Amino acid sequence: MINRRTFLSATALAAGALAGADLRTALAAENTAPAQAGGAFAAGEEFNFSALVERMKEKAGNAFAPDVPALPEILANLDYDQHRAIRFNPDKSVWKDTGSNYQLQAFHPGWLYKEPVELYEIVDGNISELHFTGADFEYREPLDPEKFKDVDLPGIAGFRLHHPLNTPEYFDELVVFLGASYFRALGKGNVYGLSARGLAIDTAIAGPEEFPRFTKFYLERPTDGAAEMRLYAELESERVAGAYQFTIKPGINTVVEVDAHIFLRDDVERLGIAPLTSMYLFGENDRTNFDDYRPEVHDNDGLLILRQNGQRLWRPARNPEKLALSFFNEENPAGFGLLQRDRNFDHYQDTEAKYQRRPSLWIEPINDWGNGQVMLAEIPAEKEIYDNLVACWVPENGTKAGSEHRFAYRMIWGREPEPGTELAQVIATSTGHGGAAASDPDPKLRKFVVEFAGGNLGDMGAEAPLTPRLTLQNGKVEHQFVQRLESGSWRAVLDIARDDEEIPVEFILALQLDGTDVTETWMYQWSGNR
């Protein structure tokens, strides 16, 4: 069975430190559409992004006609243990012997990665293929290196970029592109956690999901000492073609600016822009079915949405008993993202996974995105090896064949990528059976404890007249109060009775002073026993 940890071993061990890779990434590699035959640009031809956009638009006007070179049998038949024994030789890193702040290493094709990716280098506007051979890799036990020395590689599985992110002396992993349109990045001090995708098609609908694939990459050779790195990609699947530009700016928070031009060959029921995928197993709000020494296990603990009017919506993540979908109607959102707000090791107690160091990812639109919805999909999961959260922007219009889209946005990866605010933030959401602590549990009654901190709350004494602004759907309040804690944070305590047992209870909560919100808005969904 392939899972997140299996995939981790196959890539991290082969590539050095690719921690926390996910099941969806792994499986996408063998379930995605293969590349169109022929390159968009000939070797030596002048490259520019506008021309790439036009060529992908032209491709979208034609029926999808995949033509993928078959892997040699010895590569196609690699199993998990064999593939993980193949590692890129760091001495062969592209740009290693230059004065560049970037180095590139490739992932070997085989196992799950049977559809090769093509890489091209752009130098002074002209392109040439970056070709890799078996000599660029180390074939370790149980493999026999002699059997691979003459094998021709028809491409690579993906690649990663290295940069002296944490210290000037060492080239850390910075960005990885591997599997379908999946990629991930790190800010300073982070370890790999959530993933991003170029595009999502029909995620969490009744029918099958389609996984577009980055088929070709064009990388500008980084100049000596350059702080930024720029690359371009072709994206293809049965119903879509696209051209992407990525500008990478490493730092405490690593910024990846994306300019995506998307052309639909056929109708799409749900188009997912800037999709994020992550893992949430359990936390203080959701421990019902887990007997684990660790208090919390998750890559990210919630979804934040920033509206144009400055309102901030915080939705804690859950591991539901069945698929749960939440849609937040927005007009030209200021931003959204999956965050890991809890940075306290004591709350995780996992010395290997280092969940307190997993990055948050904030999406900040650059152009006008119009009307649509931020979608959050929460999928039941029994183990941390499965990614079970998906968040993305779903545009209201333009999902018909022949439609064109341009979405420009900024991705901010790091410990604290979200915009600053004067509002207090939600720092914890806890749940349990309703009523008094010594009472018998009532399945129709549940207690919710929401803790806020920051902003002006720390300066308010216990006598401050804070009141809850609470809206409920399918529930009623049996008991509620607001109190100040010794730490200076404030807590809202709610005992809620559900009306219809078959329908979730929807919450909207903020704390107010004199009728004005002094906290961000907490949103939640209660279904089942969680």
Domain boundary pick from 383, 414, 445: 414
- Asked if 382 and 456 sit in the same domain, the reply is no
* pLDDT average, residue stretch 3-28: 36
pLDDT of 22 over the 70 cut: no
Q: Which of 338, 427, 340 is nearest to 378 (CA)?
A: 338
* pLDDT average, residue stretch 241-247: 98
436 compared with 425, residue with greater pLDDT: 425
pLDDT of 249 over the 80 cut: yes
* pLDDT average, residue stretch 395-414: 95
Whole-angstrom distance, CA of residue 157 vs CA of residue 378? 29
* pLDDT average, residue stretch 481-491: 95
Q: Does 69 fall in a domain?
A: no
Kindly state the percentage of the chain with pLDDT values over 70: 92
pTM: 0.91
Specify the pLDDT at position 400.
Answer: 95
- Asked if 462 and 410 sit in the same domain, the reply is no
| Least reliable range by pLDDT among 12-16, 146-150, 212-216 | 12-16
What is the number of other CB atoms lying within 10 angstroms of the CB of residue 421?
14
Q: What is the pLDDT of residues 87-144, one digit of tens each?
A: 999 999 999 999 899 999 999 999 999 999 999 999 999 999 999 999 999 999 999 9
- Asked if 216 and 266 sit in the same domain, the reply is yes
Whole-angstrom distance, CA of residue 274 vs CA of residue 234? 16
Q: Which of 2, 127, 517, 84 is nearest to 311 (CA)?
A: 517
Backbone phi, then psi, for 91, in 5-degree steps? -70, -15
Sequence-distant (≥ 6) Cβ neighbours of residue 492 within 8 angstroms: 449, 450, 452, 468, 480, 481, 482, 509, 511
* pLDDT average, residue stretch 3-12: 38
- Asked if 485 and 403 sit in the same domain, the reply is no
| Least reliable range by pLDDT among 18-22, 33-37, 242-246, 389-393 | 18-22
Assign residue 317 the CATH number of its domain. 2.70.98.10
- Cα angle, residue 33 at apex, residues 385 and 31 outer, rounded to 5°: 30
Reduce the DSSP state of residue 482 to 3 states and report it.
strand
- Asked if 357 and 458 sit in the same domain, the reply is no
Sequence-distant (≥ 6) Cβ neighbours of residue 54 within 8 angstroms: none
- Asked if 276 and 234 sit in the same domain, the reply is yes
Specify the pLDDT at position 152.
Answer: 87
Domain count, the chain: 2
pLDDT of 466 over the 50 cut: yes
Q: Does 419 fall in a domain?
A: no
Whole-number average pLDDT of the chain: 90
Whole-angstrom distance, CA of residue 59 vs CA of residue 312? 40
Sequence-distant (≥ 6) Cβ neighbours of residue 212 within 8 angstroms: 32, 33, 180, 181, 198, 199, 201, 235, 236, 237, 240, 242
| Least reliable range by pLDDT among 6-20, 50-64, 149-163, 178-192 | 6-20
Q: Does 420 fall in a domain?
A: no
Specify the pLDDT at position 66.
Answer: 78
pLDDT band of 40, cuts 50, 70, 90: low
Buried b (16+ CB within 10 A) or exposed e, 296-318: bbbbbbbbbbbbeeeebbbbbbb
Specify the pLDDT at position 44.
Answer: 75
Q: What is the pLDDT of residues 43-63, one digit of tens each?
A: 778 899 999 999 999 999 999
What is the number of other CB atoms lying within 10 angstroms of the CB of residue 252?
13
Buried b (16+ CB within 10 A) or exposed e, 168-184: eeebbbbbbbbbbbbbb
pLDDT of 348 over the 90 cut: yes
Q: Does 71 fall in a domain?
A: no
Specify the pLDDT at position 455.
Answer: 94
DSSP H or E segment with residue 184: strand 182-185
Q: Which amino acid appears at position 378 of this protein?
A: E
- Asked if 266 and 127 sit in the same domain, the reply is yes
Residue with tokens 């399918």: 474
Specify the pLDDT at position 498.
Answer: 92
Q: Does 165 fall in a domain?
A: yes
Specify the pLDDT at position 8.
Answer: 36
Q: Does 198 fall in a domain?
A: yes
Backbone phi, then psi, for 203, in 5-degree steps? -75, 135
Whole-angstrom distance, CA of residue 15 vs CA of residue 140? 13
Specify the pLDDT at position 332.
Answer: 96
Cβ–Cβ under 8 Å, residues 172 and 132: no
| Least reliable range by pLDDT among 31-40, 148-157, 479-488 | 31-40
Specify the pLDDT at position 20.
Answer: 34
Buried b (16+ CB within 10 A) or exposed e, 71-97: bbeebeebeeebbbbbbbeeeebbbee
* Token couple for 379: 């999928």
- Asked if 487 and 369 sit in the same domain, the reply is no
Q: Does 97 fall in a domain?
A: yes
- Asked if 429 and 376 sit in the same domain, the reply is no
Residue with tokens 């609908």: 205
Q: Which of 242, 320, 277 is nearest to 25 (CA)?
A: 277
Specify the pLDDT at position 30.
Answer: 37
Task: Give the residue numbers spanning the domain of 486.
Answer: 425-526
Q: Which amino acid appears at position 417 of this protein?
A: P
Specify the pLDDT at position 35.
Answer: 38
pLDDT of 407 over the 60 cut: yes
Residue with tokens 């009141």: 467
- Asked if 339 and 476 sit in the same domain, the reply is no
| Least reliable range by pLDDT among 126-130, 211-215, 436-440 | 436-440
pLDDT of 27 over the 70 cut: no
Cβ–Cβ under 8 Å, residues 243 and 261: yes
Domain boundary pick from 414, 436, 468: 414
Beta bridge partners of 309: none
- Asked if 309 and 402 sit in the same domain, the reply is yes
50 CB burial (10 A radius; 0-12, 13-18, 19+): exposed
Whole-angstrom distance, CA of residue 297 vs CA of residue 277? 16
Q: Does 102 fall in a domain?
A: yes
Whole-angstrom distance, CA of residue 112 vs CA of residue 1? 12
Kindly state the percentage of the chain with pLDDT values over 90: 82
pLDDT of 25 over the 50 cut: no
Domain boundary pick from 414, 440, 469: 414
Assign residue 465 the CATH number of its domain. 2.60.40.10
Specify the pLDDT at position 182.
Answer: 97
250 compared with 439, residue with greater pLDDT: 250
Cβ–Cβ under 8 Å, residues 241 and 235: yes
What is the number of other CB atoms lying within 10 angstroms of the CB of residue 474?
16
Q: Which of 395, 48, 405 is nearest to 260 (CA)?
A: 405
- Cα angle, residue 393 at apex, residues 251 and 451 outer, rounded to 5°: 70
- Asked if 170 and 214 sit in the same domain, the reply is yes
